[in-house]
Amino acid sequence: MRSRWYFLLVLVLGFSVTALAGESVVLRSGSRIHVDRHEAEGARLRLFNGEGFVEMDASLVTGFEPDDLGTPPVPAPAPAPAIVPTLPALSPQDLADQAADKYGLPRKLVRAVMAAESGYSQQAISRKGAIGLMQLMPETAQTLGVDPRDPAQNVDGGARYLRDLLAKYDGYLWHTLAAYNAGPAAVDRYNGIPPYAETIDYVKRIDAILRKAD
């Protein structure tokens, strides 16, 4: 009888290795056996595990206790993504004013240069390859460290270049505008506005815009 009991115990324990839930059979010896469920038939007990079962005398068992596998932890809710407000894109005029304020230039001057250069358009490309709102040449943009295809960087770089030219020519506006259009080398060569029809017209157009703005 004893050997048969140990055989049953080993068999039940073998089944219990893979069990995930069920109940514990409390034996008179104080041991516990994990099973999926049990059935009583008179003085016999059937203990089920997986697809099999074993039988034993009911007198060997003092009770049954449901297994407490613990409540699985509820994962903390993922933090809600931060809502970054989408700022409206600045208009060309606002970009001009922002850059003018940054570099201490009159707002109407930066707007007038932008109007003459590109007509306030980022898509404007000149015959010589100048890009965008204030028509930066690629090599000039590279020197300034800006991306001429980005409107904000384009206008920032153009306003900074305009400020540097004003400083170079001691505040002489026509010299500055001519250098912005034809390049400082041409202005230095002629010691003033070079005799280029395009540059002369450019300076006159901006001067007219500034006078009208007043």
User: Which 8-state DSSP code applies to residue 59?
Assistant: G
9-57 pLDDT, tens per residue? 444 444 333 334 588 877 776 667 778 888 888 888 787 877 777 777 7
- The model's confidence at residue 85, banded by pLDDT at 50, 70 and 90, is low
Please state, in angstroms and rounded to a whole number, the distance separating the CA atoms of residues 144 and 92: 20
CA dist 55 and 12 (Å) reads 10
Number of structural domains (the chain) is: 2
Q: For residues 62 and 97, state if they share a domain.
A: no
Is 72 inside a domain boundary?
Answer: no
Q: Does a structural domain hold residue 17? A: yes
User: Does 204 share its domain with 127?
Assistant: yes
Residue 98 has pLDDT above 70, yes or no: yes
Q: Are residues 56 and 106 in the same domain?
A: no
Boundary-marking domain end, from 18, 51, 66? 66
In a domain, 137, yes or no: yes
Q: Sort 96 into a burial class: Cβ within 10 Å, 0-12 / 13-18 / 19+.
A: buried
User: What tokens appear for 57 in the block?
Assistant: 């005398």
Which residue's structure tokens are 């920032």? 156
Mean pLDDT value across the chain = 83
* Inside any domain, residue 133: yes
Regarding whether 100 and 196 lie in a shared domain, the answer is yes
**Contact present, 178 and 199 (Cβ < 8 Å):** yes
pLDDT tens, position by position, 105-128: 999 999 999 999 999 999 999 999
Q: What are 161-203's pLDDT values in tens digits?
A: 999 999 999 999 999 999 999 999 999 999 999 999 999 999 9
Domain span at 182? 92-213
Q: Is 117 a catalytic residue?
A: yes
Same domain, 97 and 23: no
Residue 1 has what pLDDT? 47
Of the residues 55, 65, 117, 198, which is catalytic?
Answer: 117
Q: How far apart are the first and last CA of the chain?
A: 116
Residue 194 shares a structural domain with residue 107: yes
**Two structure tokens written together for 83:** 């809502």
The CATH number given to whatever domain includes residue 39 is: 2.30.30
